[in-house]
Amino acid sequence: MEPGTAPSRVLSLGLAFMALIWVSPFAWLFTNAFDPAATGRLAIPQSIGLENFASAVSGNAGQQFLNSLLIAAGTATLSVLVGIAAAYPLSRLRIPGRNAFLWTLVLLRMLPSIGVLVPIYFAAQRGGLLNQLGVIIALAILNLPFTLLLLKNFFDTIPIELEEAAYVDGASLWQIVTRIVIPMSRAGIAVVWFFSFTGAWNEFLLPLIFSRVEAAFPMSVGLYAAFGLQGAIDYGFLAAFSIVYAAPAVGVYFLLRRNMNTGFAGVGVKG
Amino acid sequence: MRNQANPWITSNLPLLGLAMLPAIILIGALVYFTVWAFTFSFTDLALVGRKSVEWSWVGFENFERLFTRRGFLESLWTTIIFVFFSAIVGQSVLGFLLATALRGTSSTLKTVVEVCIMLGWLLPDIVAAFLWSATTSQTGLINALIVVPLGFRPVNFINEFALPVVTIANIWKGTAWSYLLFSAALDSVSREVVEAAKIDGATPFQRTWLVVLPIIRPHIATNMLFITIWTFTYFPLIFAMTGGGPGRQTETLAVFLYNQSFSRGNLGFGSAISVAMLLIVGALSLIYLRMLREPK
C-alpha cells in the first residue's frame, strides 16, 4: 500500500479518531482539576486556577503522597538490593539445584498475588506488620522473582574477561562487583528499580488490607476512600489528586523508554 | 565448570552464599505462603473473633461450599465473561488489529496512537477506575456528548450496564500491552514470505490468516497466557468502580475472594477460593504452554 492512497488515508483518519476516543476520558479530568469551582460535570471551566493542586499536595493528601513515595522507593530499593546480592552468585556459580531454583522463580513470577493474599495478611497480623513496613516487605517478596530473574540476565551479559582482568590486577571480589559488575549493568538496574517503583506506586490491594488509619494510606487507597464516599465529593480536588498521583507512574515510563535501549542493548563488550 | 576458572569466585564461596541468603529467605517465604494458602483452605480460620485464634480442621467443607452455596459458580461465570470479552476479544484482537494497521502508516501517527493507548496502560488502576466512573456517570462525557444531544434521557451506565462498562474500561486500560507484543511479533515476520504470498494471489485477509498468524503463533500463546492470568485475577479496577455490584453483577472471583475474606471475615473459605483460582490459572497456563510448544 503506497502512502497517500485512498484506503491508507481512510485508515489514518480512523486511527487518529481512535486515538482521540482513547484520550477523551482525560478531558473531564483536566477541566475539573484546573477549575476551582468544579462540580464533577463535563464543562468548560469558568475560571482557571491551581487551588485544587495546592490542596492535593497539602495536609492529608500531601502525607499520602509521601506514604506512596516511601512504599514505592522502599519496595524498589529493598528488592533491587536483595536481588543484586543473589543475582551475581546465581549468574556466576554452577551450584547444584540452580536450574530448579530458576524454574521456581519463573513459576512464582506467574503466581497471582491474590492467591497468597490471606496467608500474607495472616503472617503480617501475627508479626505486628500491618503497617507500611509490612507493605514494603510483602511487596518486595512478591516482586523479588521478577527482579532476580531480570538482574541475573543482565549480569549474564557482562563478559567474564573483564572480571578476570581485574582479578589479575589484584581486585578483590567486592571491588570486582562494585567497580565492574554494578557500573556495567547500571542502566539495567535502573530499569528494574523503576519497574518495581511503578508497580509498588500503583499497588492498591495490599495497602488496602494493611493500612488501618487514613494518615497511613498511600495515594491509591486515599483516592479510593475519597471517591467511595457518598454525598459531597470535591471533584476538583479528586481530579487534581489523580493527576498528581498518576504523573510519576506515567513520567517514569517516558524516562524509561530512552533508558530501556541502553538497559537491554548497551551492556556489552565496550568496556 | 565456569567457576573453576574464576578464582575470585571459588575463594569467596561462603561470602557468595551469604549474599544469596536474604533472597532465599524471601523466596522461601513466598513458597511457604503458597503452601499455607492450601493449608488454610481446610480450616475455618476467621478474620476476627474466637475462630481467628482457635480455628479447627474442617476437611473439604470449604470446597463443598464452593459448589453447593451460591456465589462461587456465579462469580466464576462472571469472571469467564469478563476475561473473554475484555482480554481475549478486546485487548488481544484490538491490539492485533492496531499493530497490523499501524505498520503501514507514518511514524508520527504511529507515535501519537501509541502514546494515547499507553496512557491507559500507565495510569494507576484507581485513577483509571475514577476516570471511568466519571466518564460513564449521568453527567459524564458519554451522556454529555452523545446520549443527551441525541435527545435521550441521561443513562446511569455504571448502574444499568455495570459488566459492559468495566469490560470496556479494562479494554481501554490493557490493550497497550497486547499491542506492543504483537507489534514486536509482526516485526519478526519476514517481508519476503508475505510478498511471496501476495504474488501467489493471496488476498490481504488470506495473507494475515494463513501466513502471518501461524508464524506469530508463539507470540499469540504468550500474549494469551499473560493477559488471561492477569485479567482472571485482576482486582483493583472492578473493585474500585463497582465493588462487585450492583447486586453481584460484576463480582469476579478476585472481588468475591476479597469480599469473603475481608468483608465477611471467612479466611478459610477465602483460601479455598484462592486455591481454586490458583488451580484454574495453573490449568490455563498448561494449555497455553502446550500451544506454545507444539508446532502445527
- Model pLDDT, residue A229: 57
| Cα–Cα distance for residue pair A184/B82, rounded to 1 Å | 44
Q: Are A176 and A89 in contact (CB under 8 A)?
A: no
| Cα–Cα distance for residue pair A24/A42, rounded to 1 Å | 11
| Cβ–Cβ contact A264 with B under 8 A | no
pLDDT in tens, A24-39: 888 888 888 887 777 7
Name the amino acid, one letter, at A109.
R
Cell of B248: 453481584
- Within 10 angstroms of residue A121's Cβ, the number of other Cβ atoms is 21
Looking at the DSSP bridge assignments, the partners of residue B57 are B43
Q: pLDDT 10s digit of each residue in chain B, 296 long?
A: 444 557 777 778 888 888 889 999 999 999 999 898 888 888 888 887 777 777 788 888 889 888 888 888 999 999 999 999 999 999 999 999 999 888 877 788 888 888 888 888 889 999 999 889 888 887 778 887 888 888 788 888 888 888 999 999 999 999 988 998 888 888 888 888 888 888 888 888 888 888 888 888 888 888 888 899 889 989 999 998 888 878 888 899 999 999 988 888 888 898 999 999 989 988 988 888 787 776 54
Cell of B260: 469473603
Question: Are the beta carbons of B36 and A116 separated by less than 8 Å?
Answer: yes
Residues 6+ apart with CB under 8 A from A93: B2, B3, B9, B13, B16
pTM of the entire predicted model: 0.86
For B49, B74, B84, B211, the CA distances from B80, given in Å and listed in that order, are 35, 10, 6, 30
State which residue of chain A sits closest to B273, comparing Cα positions.
Answer: A115
| Cα–Cα distance for residue pair A196/A145, rounded to 1 Å | 11
| Phi-psi region at B257: left, alpha or beta (left = phi > 0; alpha = psi -120 to 50) | alpha
pLDDT in tens, A197-241: 988 999 999 999 888 777 788 888 988 888 765 555 778 888 888
What is the sign of the dihedral through the CA atoms of B61, B64, B65 and B69? Answer: negative
Cell of B84: 473473554
**A76 or A103: which carries more pLDDT confidence?**
A76
Question: Are the beta carbons of A85 and B19 separated by less than 8 Å?
Answer: yes
Residues 6+ apart with CB under 8 A from A255: A194
Domains, chain B, ordered by start:
41-293 (1.10.3720.10)
Scanning the structure block, which residue is given the C-alpha cell 513458597? B31
Q: Are A119 and A138 in contact (CB under 8 A)?
A: no
Q: Are B244 and B296 in contact (CB under 8 A)?
A: no
Question: Are the beta carbons of B277 and A40 separated by less than 8 Å?
Answer: no
| Cα–Cα distance for residue pair A221/A241, rounded to 1 Å | 12
Instruction: For residue B285, give how far its alpha carbon lies from the nearest alpha carbon of chain A (Å).
Output: 9
User: If contacts are CB pairs under 8 Å, which of residues 114-153 in chain A contact chain B?
Assistant: 114-123, 140-142, 144-145, 148
| Cα–Cα distance for residue pair B152/B156, rounded to 1 Å | 12
Cell of B224: 494469551
| Cα–Cα distance for residue pair B88/A82, rounded to 1 Å | 36
Name the amino acid, one letter, at A75.
T
Helix (H) or strand (E) holding A245: helix A235-265
- Model pLDDT, residue A263: 40
Share of chain A above pLDDT 70, in %: 88
Instruction: For residue B281, give how far its alpha carbon lies from the nearest alpha carbon of chain A (Å).
Output: 8
- Give the angle subtended at the CA of B264 by the CAs of B263 and B267, to the nearest 5°: 100
Lowest mean pLDDT: which of A7-11, A254-258, B249-253, B279-283? A254-258
| Cβ–Cβ contact A10 with B under 8 A | no
Instruction: For residue B48, give how far its alpha carbon lies from the nearest alpha carbon of chain A (Å).
Output: 11
Question: Are the beta carbons of B122 and A227 separated by less than 8 Å?
Answer: no
If you average pLDDT over residues A140-159, what whole number do you get? 89
Scanning the structure block, which residue is given the C-alpha cell 462469580? B75
| Cα–Cα distance for residue pair B168/B142, rounded to 1 Å | 13
Q: CA torsion, points B158, B163, B168, B173, in degrees to nearest 10?
A: 90
| Cα–Cα distance for residue pair B41/B160, rounded to 1 Å | 36
Helix (H) or strand (E) holding B40: helix B13-40
Q: Are A83 and A147 in contact (CB under 8 A)?
A: yes
Q: Calculate helix-pair angle for B94-103, B107-122, nearest 10 degrees.
A: 160
Residues 6+ apart with CB under 8 A from A240: A33, A52, A53, A55, A56
Q: What is the largest CA-CA distance in chain B?
A: 81
Question: Are the beta carbons of B1 and A224 separated by less than 8 Å?
Answer: no
Kindly provide the ipTM of the predicted complex, given to two decimals: 0.84
| Cβ–Cβ contact A17 with B under 8 A | no
Q: How many A/B residue pairs have CB atoms within 8 Å?
A: 246
If you average pLDDT over residues A48-58, what whole number do you get? 79
Give A121-127's long-range contacts (Cβ < 8 A, gap of 24+): A121/A209, A121/A210, A121/B261, A121/B262, A121/B267, A122/B36, A122/B40, A122/B45, A122/B267, A123/B29, A123/B33, A123/B36, A124/A210
Domains, chain A, ordered by start:
63-156+186-265 (1.10.3720.10)
Comparing CB atoms, the residue among B20, B27, B278 nearest residue A115 is: B278
- Model pLDDT, residue A200: 92
Contacts of B145 in chain A (CB under 8 A): 42
Cell of A204: 492498591
Name the amino acid, one letter, at B186.
L
| Cβ–Cβ contact A233 with B under 8 A | no
Instruction: Tabulate helix, strand, coil % of chain B (nearest 5).
Output: 75, 0, 25
Report whether the peptide linkage leading into residue A159 is cis, meaning its omega lies within 30 degrees of zero. no
